[in-house]
Structure 1
Amino acid sequence: MTTIWNATVSRIGGDAADMIEEGVIILFGEPVPPALFDVSVVHEGAESPTREVAAGDVITFGEQTFEVTALGDKANANLAELGHVVLYVNQPDQELLPGAILATGPDVIVPAVGASISVAGA
C-alpha cells in the first residue's frame, strides 16, 4: 500500500473522547478554530494528499485500521485544504454528509497524542 496522506495527533479536545468511543472522529489540522477544538482530534505535520482518498483505501488511526466505504463530495477538498474530515466508523445508517468519510473496522479507541494518522491505498 502507498501512503496517500499522514499526520501526527497533536491535541485531543475534551469532548472528543466521548465522540470517538461512539465512532465519530472529527479531524482538524492546526490551526483548529477555537469553537471546534473541544470535539476535535487535532493534527499537525500533514501535507496535501498525493491523490484523492477513495472507497477501499485504509485509514490508520493510532493502532487501529479502518476501511473507507464512502466519501462525501467535499471530503477530499476539506482534507487537502484544512486537514478536516468527519470520520464515521461503523455507522451504516449515517447520512453521507459532504465532508464525511464512512468507514468500517474495530470499535474506535482514543489515540495518544503523538500517534500517527494515515491514509493508504493501492
Structure 2
Amino acid sequence: MKTIYESTFIAIGKSAAEALDDNFLITFGEGAPNDIAEYCFIHRSDINPGENFSAGALITLGEHQYPITAVGDVARENLRDLGHITLRFDGSSSPEFPGTIHVIGKPPAVIHVGEKFCVFSD
C-alpha cells in the first residue's frame, strides 16, 4: 500500500476525546483557531502529497487500522489543505457531510500525542 498522507498528533483539545465516545473524531492541522482546537486532535503533517483516496483505502490511528467506506466531497481537500476531517466510525457507504470520512471499526479508547495518523491506498 502507498502512503497518501502521514502526520503526527501534537496536541489534543480539552473536549476532543469526548467525541470518541460518540463514534467520531475531528482532526485539524497545526495552527487551528483556539475555539476549534478545543474539540480537535491536532496533528502536524509529515507526508502530504495531495493524492486522492477513496472507499477501500485504509486509515491508521496509532496501531489501529480502519478500512474507509465513504469519503465526502471536500474531505480530501480539507485534509490536504487544513488537516481537517471528521472521521465517523460507523461503516456508512455514503458520506454524512462533505467533510466526513467513514470507516469500519470501533474508535480507539484513547489517542496519545506522538501517535501517527495515516492514510494508505493501493
Normalized against structure 2, the TM-score is what? 0.90
Deviations 1:43-73, CA, capped at 9 Å, x for gaps? 0133434411210000001121111100110
User: What is the CA-CA distance between 1:36 and the residue it aligns to?
Assistant: 0.8
In 2, Cα distance between the equivalents of 1:66 and 1:78? 19
In 2, Cα distance between the equivalents of 1:93 and 1:4? 21
| Pairing 1:27-42 to 2, within 5 Å after superposition | 27-42=27-42
Quick check: 1:89 aligned with 2:89?
Answer: yes
Question: CA RMSD for the aligned pairs?
Answer: 1.9
Normalized against structure 1, the TM-score is what? 0.90
Aligned to 2:99: 99
Q: Which ranges of structure 1 fall in alignment gaps of 5 or more residues?
A: none
Deviations 1:9-66, CA, capped at 9 Å, x for gaps? 0000111111023211101001111111111000013343441121000000112111
Read off the aligned partner of 1:32 and give its amino acid letter. A
Identity %: 33
Describe the shift of the 1:53–1:37 C-alpha distance in structure 2 as closer, same or farther (beyond 3 A): same
Deviations 1:87-111, CA, capped at 9 Å, x for gaps? 0012649862011101112343221
In 2, Cα distance between the equivalents of 1:117 and 1:101? 14
